[in-house]
Amino acid sequence: MNTTQLTGLIQTITNLVERRAAPSEITPSLVTLHDLVERLGQAMAEIQEENAKLKSRLNQPQQPTADPKATDTCKYCHQLSGVVTRIEPDPVWKEFGGEIHHYKCSNPKCGQVYERSTKE
Ligand SMILES: [Zn+2]
């Protein structure tokens, strides 16, 4: 569906009215017009929804803390964007419950991997 279809239909209705066509002749075109406008409205709603999605995606790089799994402040970019990827016992402190937490930074501008000891 496009606007050419719509303006063509309006022209058809205008012609029918101008030559004083019977209402029964005009009605089918008006029904089609109603249907076209309804579909245009739906298409516009879909475009608005898509547009809102794209806008929020564009805004994401300014929100490096967006990853809900991030629990650590990255050693490199200092944002709350470090996500735990692996946990292993700290070879030095394992008797005391020490662990090494491996992180991957979820900040798209950083993305570094690093580790921290819980006994640090
Ligand atoms: Zn980082």
What is the tens place of the pLDDT at every residue in 62-115?
A: 555 558 899 999 999 999 999 999 999 998 887 888 999 999 999 999 999 999
State whether 20 and 42 are in the same domain.
Answer: yes
- Predicted pLDDT of residue 97: 86
- Predicted pLDDT of residue 65: 54
Tell me, in angstroms, the distance from the centre of ligand 1 to residue 108's CA: 8
pTM beyond 0.75, yes or no: no
Tell me, in angstroms, the distance from the centre of ligand 1 to residue 86's CA: 17
Tell me, in angstroms, the distance from the centre of ligand 1 to residue 89's CA: 24
What is the tens place of the pLDDT at every residue in 29-58?
A: 999 999 999 999 999 999 999 999 998 888
pLDDT at 61 over 80: no
Helices 3-18 and 23-59, interaxial angle, to 10°?
Answer: 160
Q: Give the range of the structural domain holding residue 104, as residue numbers without chain letter.
A: 64-117
Q: Which of 60, 76, 101 is the last residue of a domain?
A: 60
Tell me, in angstroms, the distance from the centre of ligand 1 to residue 119's CA: 21
State whether 76 and 42 are in the same domain.
Answer: no
Tell me, in angstroms, the distance from the centre of ligand 1 to residue 10's CA: 58
CA-based R_g, the chain, Å: 31
CA distances for 110 relative to 64, 81, 106, angstroms: 9, 9, 7
State whether 44 and 72 are in the same domain.
Answer: no
The count of domains in the chain is: 2
State whether 8 and 49 are in the same domain.
Answer: yes
